[in-house]
Every structure is written in C-alpha cells, then in structure tokens.
Structure 1
Amino acid sequence: MKRLSQAVFLSMTALVLNVQAAAPDNASAQAGERAREIWHQQIEGGYQTLSEKAGEFAEHSRHWCADPATGSRSDVEQAWQQAFMAWQAVRFVDFGPIETDNRAWQLQFWPDPKNLIARKARYLLSADQAPTTDTIAGAGVAVQGFPMAEYLLFDEPFNRGDQALPAERSCQMLTAVASHIAANSEQQLSDWRAFEKHYIASEQYQDASVRAGMNALEILEERRLAQPMGLRGTGKRSAYVADAWRSGKSLATVEATVRGLKTHYLPGLELLLENSGQPGLADRIRGQFNEVLENFPALDTPMAPLLADDREFSRLQGLWVDVSQLTTLVNDQAAVAVGVVRGFNSSDGD
C-alpha cells in the first residue's frame, strides 16, 4: 500500500511538472499567434494604402497625358510620391505573396549600379512599337516600377530632351508603367488578404516577420544611408547610390520606411517582447523610433546638397547614428529576447 501511494505521488508530481512546463509554452504560442494577427492586420492596412495611392497615380497619369493642356504635371508628381512613400512603408515585408514573380523588384528595382533604368527607357522609347501595358509586363523588373516612373518624371537630362513629358511616346510609357504598378499593388493586397489564415496559423512566420524588420533596418543603415554617405563601399560620398535620387526623395523614403516599421512592425514585436519579460526593451525601441523620426521634417530635403557641404553633412551623421542605435536595439537585443537567429538577407539586391 505504501509503494502504491508513492507511485501515485510520483505520478501526480510528474503530471504537475508537465503542466507547469507546458503553461509557458502555451502562453508563448498564444502570444505568437496574437502577434501574427496584429502584423497581418497592420500590414494589410499598409497594402490598402499602397493600392489606393497607386490607383490614384495611374489615374492622374492617364488624365494628364490625355490632355496635358488642362491637366497638371505637379498632380502627377505628387501622386507618384504618395504612392511611392506608401510602398516604402511596407517595403520591409520580404516574405509571402510579395515574393510572387519578383513583385517587390517589380515595384522597386534597386540598387541600380549599371543605370539599367535609363538604358531600358531609352531603348523602349526608340523602339518601333509604342510602349503598352503588355510591353511593360514583359520588359523586366527595371522597367515596371516606381523608379522607371521617377525617371520619366524627374530625370533632368531626359526632361531637357525632345522626348520629355508630355511627349506622346513618353506619356504612353508613363501611363503603362503606372498601370502596371497599380495592378501589382491591387493584386498584392488581394493576395495578402488571402494569405491571412495560413500566415496566422504558421509559427514559422513569427521568425520571418521579426527578421523582415531586422533586414529592413540593416539595409536602411548600411545601404540607404552609410553607402551614399561614404561610410561603406568606396568611401566616397555619392547621392547616386541612394534610392530616389532623381526626385530628391532619398531621405523622404527613409522617413516613410521608419514610420512604416513603427506602425506596421513594432506593435507585434512589442507584444513578443512583453511576453518574453522585456517590456523595458520594448519601451526603449519605441523611444528610439521616435528619436529617428525627430530628424524629420528638417531632413525632408535632397541628399546631394547635404553630402556636398561638411556642415550640412553633420545632419546626416546624426540621422545615421540614430538609425544605427535603432538597428542595434532591434537586431541585437530584441531578436535575442524573442529567440530569433539572424538569417540570410535576400532583400538587399546581392
């Protein structure tokens, strides 16, 4: 009888220990699922804005090119900027439907060290057949996205030539590119919505989501800021290796990306950190996002003049330091806290 009591006691003890061990795992799984629900909802909102703004850009392009005398080029340029900044806000998402048919590259071909965008534009504008939506769809990613539209609208040598907008052939190409961007943006929104159940149910996307923000911050620090500033690569300052240099919106894209990460990425990460017993780290990261954004709107200016003047360059240095500190908090501290190991980054164009 004594042995039986001991056996029952040991069995009950083992059961209690198993329940206690399972409880944190269940809480962690529930927190992960809730984080993925938050991420999906936030990112869907970002894609919704992108789809709306891309549609408006396509509509403004068609309207102006149909009747340049009564339309407004500035409206087209503003619509391009609003759609492009909406893309910057969700640019960090590097998994799921955005991987379909290189859709991210279709929306933004960058980096472009060989200036393929200008070369492709000259080729298509001198071809026997006028550019159409079918032409753009089959012409490759360098032709299909925001940078090509930026070239047509903002490239100074091009717009001093006889093909400058609103020349008929150039307008045909602009409207075709804008239509392609709008169609891709609409399809991305639809695909992301359809992706919801699989995304939320699959634990693998927790790590993928965390890494997406990590990769975006690393690219922002190293390639979108440090490289043009001459802190990496050749060691020479050059605005031409930044994105959106033709429109002078390189720094505006930085702000849009940081705001997008704060809005669409940070809430899910905060929940995971709080579940891991790190609410203080979550607060520090939110504070550092605010620190980076305090550099704007003073830095909503073309990068080239800041690179050319040593006194102005210090403003860029301040921004870079703030971004570097944010990257360290997320990539080195938050990632460890939530158990994410840094993986290969396939989003940097290498």
Structure 2
Amino acid sequence: MRLRFSLTLGLLLLAVVAPAAAQEGATLSPRALDEAALPGVMAKAVDYFIVPGYRDLSRATADLVEASAALCATPSAPALEATRSAFSDVVRKWSTIEIVRLGPALEQNRFERFLFYPDRKSTGLKQVQAILAKRDESATHAESLKVKSVAVQGLGAFEYVLYGTGAEALNGEDGRFRCRYGMAISENLKSIAGELLAAWEEPEGIQSAWKAPGPDNPLFRDNKEAATELLGVLVHSVEMVKDQRLRPFYDGAIDGNPDKGRPKLAIYWRSGNTMASIGANLRGLQTLFSIAGMENLLPGDSRSIAGSVNFLFKALISASDRVEGPIDAALADNKRRSRLDFIALNTADLLDRLNRDFGGAIGLGAGFSFADGD
C-alpha cells in the first residue's frame, strides 16, 4: 500500500508536468541561451540569494556562539535547549546556502571544515570521541581547533557534543570540558561563515566574475560558461539530495522488498534535523531558481519548462515538510515512508528536467550532462 501510494502520487505529478515538457521536447533543436538576460540573472543570483544566504549564516553562527557561551558560563537544561535551538537554526541556514559548493567554499577546505559528511567509516566520530575522552585542551581554542582534522571542527562534531553519548553532562559542572570544545567549534563556524560572506561581498572578487562574463574573466569566458555554472549548482545539488542525503538511509523497495532503512546513516540524525536540512536544501534551490529569474534564460516558447521545475520543487518541499520528527520514527511509519518514496521518485525526475530539458533548451550540446561533470 505504501509503495502504491507513493507511485500514484509520483505518476500524478508526472502527468501534470510531463505534457508541457514533451511539447517542448519536439522543438528543442536548435536552441540557444538568451544571452541578453544572462548578466542580470547572474547578478540576481549573487545579490538576492548568495550574499543574503551567507549573511543569514553569519548571523546564525554568531547567535550560536552567544548561546554556547551562555551554556558554558551557567550550565542548565534551559541553556542547553537554547544552544540546541541555535544549532538547529545554523543547520537550516547552512543547508539553504551549502548548495553553492564552489569558489570560496572550496578554498581552504571551508566546506569540509563546516560540514564533514558523509563520514562513511566513522572517522570523524572516532576523532571527536577521542577528543572528549582525552580532554584534549587544544580542541577548546578555535585557533588550534581549525588546524585539526576537518572532521572535528564542524557541524557534525558539534552535533555529537550536543546530542551524543554523555551530552547530558552539559547541564552541569561535569560538562565543562565538553562545553568548551563545543564553544570552540561554534567560534570556528562563525569564522568560516564570516570568511565566506566577506569573499562574496568583495566588489572586485568572485561576485564581479559572476556578474560580467567575458574573454578577460578568470572564471567565465562567455555567457554560456556562466549559465553552465549556475545551472550546474542546481543539478549537482538535486543530485546530492537524491544520492547523498536520501539514499544512504533509505532506498525504497529493493527487489520488491521494502527497505527498513538505516537511520544512523542519515545526516543530523542525532538532533532530528535530517528532513529539516533536506527541506532547506530544496527551498534554497527553488529560491535560487526563482529569485535569479532563471526562466529568463529560456527561449520564449520554452518557458513552460520553468513552470514544470517550480511545480516539482513545491511538491518536494511539501513532502519533506511532512516527514516530520526523528528519522528513525519516520522510517517506522508507513505514511512517512511513502513520502520518502515520493521524494526519491521526484528528485530523479527533477534532476532530469534540469539537466536535459532546461539545459537543452538553453542550447547546451547533445549529450551534455551536468551530472557527469562534462
């Protein structure tokens, strides 16, 4: 019943959006990017999504530092709850902007230092546990922490501090070391967020390259290269949600047998932020797509592709919001599992529409695949 429900929803959704794409498919060749619209689209992506996204992240990490400091100064259950709430807010803000995995985020290992995931061999977990067991004082100072393994200085490490084995000690005096380690992580996160914001706010920096493609541009020699980068952000991020965020803990039906799920492989499973993060990923993608006006890159008779993409985004966000609660509880509930099936089915469709339909409509060559990195 669960699988049938999911497939029915999926097929219904496909029936709604497929005719427009099929009609477009008959007229996709030859197609070309609307080059006059491209600079404005890139500028809006920077000014209305990327820079505001990093500003939000910077503010959220500052709040986390403040909450962590209060917890360490006066340990209590309310102070711990306030810190956990601030942590969840950082997770949401980061999940919204982490889709921009390029430029400054890749420099100095900033992305991995902020979020080390997936941790397939529990490398990070073991290193964090060792710090706590040995009471390594060098991990309680942001300056010395940032030169340690990327696995012990970001969101995953802080989640274990707040929710992992022994976290109840944070309510009292016994948690002093653990709290100081968490405080150093929060300061490190604030520092990284500030660096990312500063890099994107610099008028002559990466934002300048995004806004003015051309032969002298170090990143984009022409409008097509710039459009490829922008659309690639969406394609790679949808692929990430499908393959790196959902599939590790849930793969639907395997050879006709329902997958029981692997909740401990889900991102942020300890804090219950798994689906909140996935939902924020999807919201960030839809916001970028809409606020940058990416539909303006399409030929006039192909604009319905943008409508199909937006329809899928809205459906996926709605489904993610309805997989509420801890992920282990969601996997034990047939209704919520059916929504996970729906998300898996339709992220695959969304990926295809962005990669093939949208990419083809703006003039990318036959066989071009963002997903393959071509």
Question: Is this contact kept in 2: 1:211–1:342, CA < 8 A?
Answer: no
Deviations along 1:126-157, whole A, 9 cap, x unmatched? 145352112211112111211111111112x2
In the TM superposition, residue 163 of structure 1 has moved relative to its aligned partner by 11
Kindly state the Cα deviation for residue 276 of structure 1 after the two structures are TM-superposed. Answer: 5.9
Query: Are 1:130 and 1:172, in contact at CA under 8 Å, matched by a contact in 2?
Result: no
Aligned to 1:301: 325
Residue 273 of structure 1, CA deviation: 4.0
CA displacement at 1:70 relative to structure 2: 8.8
Determine the structure 1 residue equivalent to 2:189. Answer: 181
Partners of 2:82 and 2:100 in 1: how far apart? 29
Query: Normalising by structure 2, what TM-score?
Result: 0.78
Q: Does residue 152 of the first structure (1) align with residue 147 of the second (2)?
A: no
CA–CA distance in 1 between the matches of 2:157 and 2:173?
13
Contact 1:51 1:185 in 2 (8 A): yes
Task: Give the distance between the partners of 1:221 and 1:165, measured in 2 at CA.
Answer: 43
For 1:228 and 1:289, how far apart are their aligned partners in 2? 22
Which consecutive aligned stretches of 4+ in structure 1 deviate over 6 angstroms post-superposition? 161-166, 232-236
Q: Which moved more, 1:58-67 or 1:299-308?
A: 299-308
State the Cα RMSD in Å: 2.7
Between stretches 186-195 and 219-228, larger displacement belongs to: 219-228
Question: CA–CA distance in 2 between the matches of 1:283 and 1:47?
Answer: 28
Over 3 Å counting, the alpha-carbon distance change for 1:118 and 1:129 in structure 2 is same
SS in 2 for 1:314: helix
SS in 2 for 1:28: coil
Which runs of 5 or more residues in structure 1 are unaligned? 1-23
Equivalent position of 2:10 in the other structure: none
**Alignment-derived partner of residue 138 in structure 1:** 147
8 Å Cα contact 2:96-2:281 kept in structure 1:
yes
The 1:267/1:100 distance shift into structure 2, 3 A limit, reads: same
Aligned-partner Cα distance in 1 for 2:329–2:77:
34
Work out the CA distance in 1 between the residues paired with 2:81 and 2:171: 18
Instruction: From 197, 207, 229, give the equivalent of 2:228.
Output: 207
**Amino acid paired to 1:137:** K
Aligned to 2:67: 60
Whether 1:87 aligns to 2:94 is yes
What amino acid does structure 2 have at the position aligned with 1:280? S
Name 1:9's counterpart in structure 2. none
| Residue type of the alignment partner of 2:269 | W
157-166 or 73-82: bigger deviation: 157-166
Determine if the alignment matches structure 1 residue 168 to structure 2 residue 176. yes
Q: Aligned runs of 1:26-41 on 2, under 5 Å?
A: 28-41=34-47
Aligned counterparts, 1:110-149, within 5 A:
110-125=117-132, 126-131=134-139, 132-149=141-158
Q: Secondary structure at the match of 2:37?
A: helix
Taking the aligned partners of 2:58 and 2:46, their CA distance within structure 1 comes to 16
Letter in structure 2 aligned against 1:159: A
Question: Paired residue for 1:19?
Answer: none
**How many matched pairs?**
321
What does residue range 147-296 of structure 1 map to in structure 2 within 5 Å?
A: 147-155=156-164, 157-159=165-167, 167-194=175-202, 195-202=206-213, 203=223, 204-231=225-252, 237-268=261-292, 270-275=294-299, 277-296=301-320
Q: Which has the higher contact order (CA 8 A, sep 6+)?
A: 2
Query: Do the aligned residues in 1 keep the contact of 2:54 with 2:197 (CA within 8 Å)?
Result: yes
1:205 maps to a residue whose letter is A
- Classify 1:161/1:78 alpha carbon distance in 2 versus 1 (closer, same or farther; 3 Å): closer
Q: Which amino acid is the alignment partner of residue 57 of structure 1? A: L
The one-character-per-residue Cα deviations of 1:225-248 (angstroms, maximum 9, x if unpaired) are 123113599976212222111112
* Change beyond 3 A, Cα 1:72–1:127: closer
Counterpart Cα distance in 2 of 1:251 and 1:196: 31
Rg bigger for which structure? 1
